[in-house]
Amino acid sequence: MAKYIVEETNRSKYEKNFKFPLINMIPAIVWCIPVHQKMAPLIGTMGAYIAVAVFFVAYILLSYVPIAALVPAVASVIMMTAIFWAPADHIGNNVVRIIVKGVILVIMVLIEFCVLINATLPWLERKTATLPRVRKVEE
């Protein structure tokens, strides 16, 4: 009689880091300023505060959603780069200023790419999970 042996995959699952995407709180707060400025004349002060709170929570929560994390990632790259480029504008040498700004941009892109990967990798692992291998052993 034949026996069947099921071999599980030895791959460890990716553990999502729930603290890392909170780096997007800084750009979320800064992006809330124009949201408040545009909403306050339309819906009043209290309505603008509610809209800003909803925007802030949605911005942070989207940082955890697979694929949709691309939206706050792009917005965060724009905002964080602008925040850190402001002090770099005071560098007197043009060549050094351009190099420093390029390094800042690359670092911000890599940080937000990591946030995107952190949100998307567990979803991709579930979508592309390999099936366990079944071997038939004859006696």
Q: If the chain, 139 residues long, is cut into consecutive pieces of 10 residues, what is the mean pLDDT of each piece?
A: 78 82 93 91 91 95 92 94 93 93 96 93 82 79
CA distances from 126 to 7, 130, 131, 133 (A): 18, 9, 11, 17
Packed helices 70-88 and 25-62: angle between N→C axes, nearest 10 degrees: 180
Place of tokens 């929560």: 61
What pLDDT shows up at residue 131?
76
pTM over 0.85: no
In angstroms, the Cα distances linking 8 to 3, 13, 24, 34, 116 are 16, 13, 37, 52, 29
pLDDT at 12: 74
* Torsion angle of C-alpha atoms 67, 73, 78, 81, degrees rounded to 10: -150
At 6 the pLDDT is 81
Q: What is the pLDDT of residue 9?
A: 73
For residues 44 and 74, what is the distance between their CA atoms, to the nearest angstrom? 29
According to the model, what pLDDT value does residue 122 have? 86
- Amino acid present at 6: V
